[in-house]
Structure 1
Amino acid sequence: MDRPAWAPEGVDMSRPSPARMYDALLGGSHNFEVDRQAAEAGKALVPDLPRLALSNRAFLRRAVRFLVDSGVRQFLDIGSGIPTAGNVHEVAQSIDPECRVLYADIDPVAVAHARAILRDNDRAAAIEADLREPANLLEQARETGIIDFEQPVGILLIAVLHLMADEFDPLGKVNALYDAVPVGSYVAISHLTSATRPDDAAKLVENSANVSRIGLQFRSRPEITALFGKWEPIEPGVVELPLWRPESDRDQHEAPGRSLGLAGMGRKA
């Protein structure tokens, strides 16, 4: 199996990654055959899976615009994945060029591609870090100088917490981030849910274990709401992806009542 020129040395090309599968669902080009096969297996079970990916991406863009409008000028995007059109820095810096963005991901392909894109952007950077080790992640973030932890931070946990089993204490990780940022900071979370389509959720859980070998945690609305922990909820609370402050019909990639993802935002008051 030939390694593409854009893939860092040492990347395991025999095992799919969530970041590269998500890239494949969005029609990106920075993925391997094993990622495309895993994505196709998911689509065979749930044909509208690409709409979920688009809906999640649309929520990210709306969340960033909301945060900039709320005065946030720096973003920590954890589990950022492969950069595609409508990246956080593109959205934020199109509104205010002074915005700073730090991407963090466990996948070296995602980090390498992000660094290539950001080479000429002195207000954005990428680090390889694991949310399961928040102290190390935060220390790396401080070392970049991109994030000033004395000023409000917009933390983005987009489609990442459902990759963390309960045994890794996802709520504890969210609370650790809360403790690290000042009042006026926000967190945005999107998460796969079993609330709307339990049968399809069960199919994808089985597929993730048997085919893609990636453990997915589809959680209920109360479980996802609980993950916000200490953060004060922002209206409209935890809702289906296309229902979180839609800006136009273009945000409606999934029909209400059919979304496999929930999303919300919280503020440190």
Structure 2
Amino acid sequence: MQGNTIQQLLADRIDTFATGDKPTEIIDKAVEKLFKELIDESFKSWGDFGTAVKASVKAAMPSNVSDMFELTRYNSLIINSLRERWQASTIGDDFLRRANAALDEVLREDAIPAQVRLSELLEAFVESHAEDAAEKGWDRPHVRIKEDEGIVSARFIHIAFDEEPEEDYLSGRSLSRLTQSRREDHQFKNRVSVHLLGETDDSHPFGRVYHARLEGQPVGRDFSIRNRWERLLAALYFGVADLIIDCDEYDVSYPGRD
């Protein structure tokens, strides 16, 4: 008899609980947690959404590298359109925030600045060769900056740089080459020639790159961009950005070798 009473009480309490607001609240919290976990997973760098967007952007990359820098502007139009549609829809604020953050992350590396500082270009160059420098004990890349003299109507600056220091380069040459006192300009793998147009507010000259040599080859339409410094140099060559000469030859060194 007592068991039946307990069972009846339990059944009554279950009925009362089931018809109240508490089950709905619990279910809502469980559903919210489920969706948050799904969204978190989707917007991770390896998630479905981020992977799909990155794949779409990669598929849209033009074969002609000179058109590549227009892609950022093209992407911006698409992204703005998407954001306007999302904003006008009834999707939740959390989804909108995460979606915007994911798109920003996808496009962040493709951003092309209006101006590039020489120090930024060389620092990116140093970063890409830091591992080799540590293995071989290099202190700093070899950089040469010189301005054309005797030209009154215009100013031109030529910048040459290699990851290998001058002494290491010369020691690796044949005996007949060891007598040369310094590397000739044409022996540098990377060179940039700049037609100066003016000065910045902090008195650094800036101008447009009219000639560039990348890893021993003239920059042209058919070359691959593998890292950030090559992207910056290509942007400079194709006229997307101005180069600001804001450092000297010995201002850049490899990590831990200051």
Bigger share in helix: 2
Fold agreement, TM-score > 0.5: no
TM-score range, shorter chain: under 0.3
What is the TM-score when the length of structure 1 is the normalising length? 0.22
What is the TM-score when the length of structure 2 is the normalising length? 0.23
